[in-house]
Amino acid sequence: MAKLLYEGKAKNVYETDKADELLMVYKDQATAFNGKKKEILPGKGVLNCQISVLVFDYLIKNGIKTHLIKTLSDHEQLVKKSDVFPLEVVVRNIASGSLVKKFHVENGMKLREPIVEFYYKSDALDDPFINDSQVHALKIADKEEINYIKEQALKINQLLIPFFAESDFDLVDFKLEFGKVAGEIVLVDEFSPDNCRLWDKRSHHSMDKDVFRKHEGDLVKTYQEVLERLTNH
Ligand code: C5P
């Protein structure tokens, strides 16, 4: 049995025979509010994996470097081992979630331009907001790396807005993670409705983890619809 390297909330990461490759296994667990709300939802892991593969394949085709090597099954991916920056990189197009809570702006307000925010990845600290100069001074990433990460995050946003719009979704906001492989910064982790906000273009209903956070319906059915709409397009 492969050695478990990291047990996450939605995924486990295992060692493989190769020192520079890892196995990422999607789980059926859904969590919110930093793990305070937790449930097993059968089928969720497979859906997240499949949606993430669609998004990553599209990004790779459009020149974005990622850790993905190949998909091994409907819930397993082989990825390059990377030194992950302990940063959650959030991009926003429309005001929602913590931005609304912080600034009391209207939920759904279209932003003048996309926002990029960094949060320091720490369950113990509840992922606090961290600014560029703190990231640099605390040696989490240097200035050049910070600029590159922001540039990539905005490029990914410009690629994903039309990708989701074609399936009648507004891409409200999302979270990315980056790591370093042999000196090169690449996109890591996943892209699924667990880490983005997708609103139906007509009804403006949430088609993402807010359904679970706000008890708005069946999360697995919602993710199934997201996958179908993305695949059928
Ligand atoms: O909560 P907030 O509005 O800051 O979240 C912005 C985006 O980042 C949302 O799409 C949310 O799902 C995602 N996020 C995440 N993991 C976190 C925090 C936020 O995927 N730990």
CA 196 to ligand 1: nearest atom: 10
For ligand 1, say whether the CB of 197 is within 6 Å of any of its atoms.
yes
Query: How far is ligand 1, taken at its centre, from the CA of residue 196, in Å?
Result: 7
The preferred substitution site among 126, 195, 214 for testing ligand 1, maximizing ligand atoms within 8 Å of CB, is 195
Q: Which tens digits make up the pLDDT trace of 133-162?
A: 999 999 999 999 999 999 999 999 999 999
pTM: 0.98
Q: What is the mean pLDDT of the chain?
A: 97
Give me the number of domains the chain comprises: 2
Same domain, yes or no: 112 and 43: no
In a domain, 227, yes or no: no
| Sign of the CA dihedral running 138, 90, 13, 33 | positive
Q: Which domain holds residue 156?
A: 83-217
Task: Tell me the pLDDT band of 1, cut-offs 50, 70 and 90.
Answer: low
Residue 182 maps to a domain: yes
Same domain for 134 and 20, yes or no, is: no
Domain termination residue (choose one: 41, 63, 80): 80
Residues 137 and 205 in one domain: yes
- ipTM, two decimals, is 0.99
Both 126 and 188 in one domain: the answer is yes
Distance of CA 24 to CAs 7, 74, 155, 219, Å? 10, 11, 25, 22
**Cβ 196 under 6 angstroms from ligand 1:** yes
Per-residue pLDDT band for 71 (boundaries 50, 70, 90) equals very high
